[in-house]
Amino acid sequence: MMKKRVLIGIAVVFITGLIGYGYLAYRQKQSYRQYIPANASALFRINVDALLQSIVWNAVSNPLYYFGSDKEKPKKPFEINGLGLHIPANVFFFSMEPYDATLFSVFRIDDFEKFEHYIKHGLNIKSVNTMDSLTFQGNTADEKLCLLYSKEYLALSISASKVATTTILRSLVLQNNMIAVEQSHLLDAIKANHELVYTNGTNTVIADFGPGTLSLKGQVKTNMIRGAEHIHPRRFTRNSLVKGWLAADVGPLLTRQQKFFEKHRIPVDTLLHYYGGYVDLEWKKNLILQQDTVITYDYNENFEKVEQKSIRKERIPEIYLSFQASPHLANYLPKQLFYKFGHKSQGDRLLFGTGENYQQNSLDGLSSNFFYFYIDIKGLKKQGNYPLLQQYSKQVEKIELKSQKLASQYMAVYGKLNFENKSIHGLMQLLRSVPN
Q: Quick check: 76 pLDDT over 60? A: no
Confidence at residue 13, expressed as pLDDT on a 0 to 100 scale: 65
Band (32; pLDDT cuts 50, 70, 90): very high
Q: Quick check: 378 pLDDT over 50? A: yes
pTM (two decimals): 0.86
Where is average pLDDT lowest: 13-17, 53-57, 89-93?
13-17
Length of the chain: 436
Residue 347: left if φ>0, alpha if ψ -120 to 50, beta else—which one?
Answer: left
CA distance 187 to 191: 6
Band (390; pLDDT cuts 50, 70, 90): confident
CA distance 379 to 239: 9
| Spatial contact of 71 and 226, defined as CB atoms under 8 Å apart | no
Helices and strands (H, E) in the chain, number of each type: 12, 21
Listed as own residue / partner, the contacts of 403-407 with beta carbons closer than 8 Å and 24 or more positions apart are: 403/227, 403/369, 403/370, 403/371, 403/372, 404/227, 404/368, 404/369, 404/370, 405/226, 405/227, 405/228, 405/229, 405/368, 405/370, 406/219
Q: For residue 97, with 0-12 CB atoms within 10 Å meaning exposed, 13-18 middle and 19 or more buried, which class applies?
A: exposed
Confidence at residue 337, expressed as pLDDT on a 0 to 100 scale: 65
CA distances, 396 to each of 45, 420, 426, 431 (Å)? 24, 6, 9, 11
Strand partners, 314: 290
CA distance 100 to 91: 19
Confidence at residue 77, expressed as pLDDT on a 0 to 100 scale: 47
User: For the chain, percent helix, then strand, then coil, each to nearest 5?
Assistant: 30, 40, 30
- What letter would DSSP give residue 74? P
Residue-wise pLDDT for 39-75, tens only, equals 999 999 999 999 999 999 999 999 998 887 655 555 5
- What letter would DSSP give residue 19? H
CA distance 146 to 159: 9
Write out the DSSP string of 293-316: EEEEEEE-TT--EEEEEEEEEEEE
Residue 113: strand, helix, or coil: helix
φ/ψ of 183, rounded to 5, equals -100, -5
Confidence at residue 219, expressed as pLDDT on a 0 to 100 scale: 96
| Spatial contact of 245 and 233, defined as CB atoms under 8 Å apart | yes
Residue-wise pLDDT for 159-185, tens only, equals 888 888 888 999 999 999 999 999 999
Where is average pLDDT lowest: 146-150, 166-170, 244-248, 303-307?
303-307
Residue-wise pLDDT for 273-320, tens only, equals 888 899 999 999 989 888 777 787 887 777 778 878 777 778 889 999
**Is the C-alpha dihedral spanning 166, 167, 170, 175 positive or negative?**
negative
Band (405; pLDDT cuts 50, 70, 90): very high
Confidence at residue 234, expressed as pLDDT on a 0 to 100 scale: 87
Which of 55, 58, 423, 417 lies closest to 207, judged by CA? Answer: 417
**Residue bearing the bigger pLDDT, 4 or 182:** 182
Please tell me which of 152-161, 284-293, 372-381 the model is most confident about, judged by mean pLDDT.
372-381
As a whole number, mean pLDDT of residues 188-205 equals: 94
As a whole number, mean pLDDT of residues 239-252 equals: 94
Confidence at residue 344, expressed as pLDDT on a 0 to 100 scale: 86
pLDDT mean across residues, the chain = 86
| Spatial contact of 261 and 254, defined as CB atoms under 8 Å apart | yes
